[in-house]
Amino acid sequence: MPRIFGVEIPGRKRTEYALCSIYGIGLTLAREICEKSGIDPAKKADALNDEELSQISKLLQTEYRTEGDLRREISGNIRRLISINSYRGSRHRRGLPVRGQRT
């Protein structure tokens, strides 16, 4: 199984679907990454060589927020909402739905 950013991506899957196992990357973004790095999205993740993996890692590091950075940003946004005593912050604090769902 190849590793990107400390995340084991499933080797038996196509590259475009395997990249979705990284936090912050969906199918559309995975296809965009494959296109920018010049990798065939239908290629299995096990078939990627070291050069292609490093190319994907470099692209993710420079252009996208993923894994730890994204998690920190989201938790920071929630902490900010709580600290300014907004309605959304109070809903987060109480563990209730934030976006208007019924309770």
Give the pLDDT score at 3: 85
Give the pLDDT score at 6: 84
Within 10 Å of residue 88's Cβ, how many Cβ atoms?
Answer: 14
Rounded to an integer, what distance in angstroms lies between the CA atom of residue 52 and that of residue 70?
23
Give me the residue spans of the domains in the chain.
3-64, 66-103
Give the pLDDT score at 42: 93
Give the pLDDT score at 67: 87
Give the pLDDT score at 41: 92
CATH of domain 66-103: 4.10.910.10
CATH of domain 3-64: 1.10.8.50
Give the pLDDT score at 11: 87
Give the pLDDT score at 7: 86
Rounded to an integer, what distance in angstroms lies between the CA atom of residue 52 and that of residue 41?
12
Give the pLDDT score at 80: 97
Residues (pLDDT < 50) of the chain are none
